């Protein structure tokens, strides 16, 4: 019986030796590099998304201002241009049906009446410079005050200390307060707080 088993094993060993396969008395380890290594796929780290800040922007309703909460990108704080853009975009359709509107865009020409000065950075103390378009001065006096109130309350609500208004040439603009007096310094929230409608 042993002879019957041994003969096929011996024949297989001779055959392998004839093919160039070396027979070792003891098992040998596989040489390094004989088996290619496959690295596990690496998932890319997720790119950080911009933080979102909840900002209270102010829109006109009748002869006063009402707040609307909106979400804007914050890196590390909301950019003043984003605040003005939110005002220019106007309220939602539902809010507009309730009589809420924005004066930042001329309803006839659809041109923006205000923009953040691109060449004047925010000051270290947080004052923003806003350029008023010539058409802003063509608004009725009451609406001029409401427009200014929209901008000042929205920008200071986003964390800026004050707003300086200039014309398109960069000269200081005459800024009326709700009582009719002209402002000779940067505007702050309390200057237009009297326009807020208590809901």
In terms of residue numbers, what domain contains 108?
51-195
Return the C-alpha torsion angle 173, 178, 184, 190, nearest 10.
Answer: -120
pLDDT tens by residue, 96-106: 999 999 999 98
pTM (global) more than 0.85: no
In a domain, 18, yes or no: no
* Sign of the C-alpha dihedral computed for residues 51, 54, 60 and 63 taken in this order: negative
How far apart are alpha carbons 143 and 164 in whole angstroms? 19
pLDDT tens by residue, 6-47: 555 545 554 545 555 555 556 555 555 555 444 444 444 444
In a domain, 109, yes or no: yes
Q: Which of 71, 142, 77, 69 is nearest to 103 (CA)?
A: 142
Residue 190 pLDDT level (bands cut at 50, 70, 90): very high
In a domain, 186, yes or no: yes
End-to-end CA distance of the chain: 104
In a domain, 134, yes or no: yes
Q: What's the domain count of the chain? A: 1
In a domain, 32, yes or no: no
Give the position of tokens 């707003």: 163
């Amino acid at each position: 019986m042993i002879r019957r088993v041994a003969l096929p094993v011996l024949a297989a060993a001779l055959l392998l030796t004839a093919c160039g396969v070396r027979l070792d008395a003891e098992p040998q380890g596989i040489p390094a590099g004989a088996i290619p290594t496959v690295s596990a796929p690496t998932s890319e780290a997720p790119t950080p998304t911009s933080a979102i800040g909840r900002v209270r922007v102010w829109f006109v309703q009748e002869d006063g201002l009402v707040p609307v909460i909106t979400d804007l990108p914050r890196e590390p704080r909301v950019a003043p241009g984003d605040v003005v853009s939110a005002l220019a975009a106007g309220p939602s359709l539902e809010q507009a049906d309730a009589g809420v509107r924005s004066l930042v865009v001329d309803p006839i020409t659809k041109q923006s009446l205000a923009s953040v000065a691109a060449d004047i950075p925010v000051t270290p103390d947080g004052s923003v410079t806003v350029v008023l378009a010539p058409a802003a001065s063509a608004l009725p006096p009451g609406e001029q005050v409401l427009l200014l109130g929209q901008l000042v309350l929205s920008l200071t609500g986003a964390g800026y200390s004050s707003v300086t208004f200039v014309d398109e040439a960069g000269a200081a603009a005459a800024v009326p307060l709700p009582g009719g007096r002209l402002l000779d310094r940067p505007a702050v929230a309390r200057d237009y707080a009297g326009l807020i409608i208590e809901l």
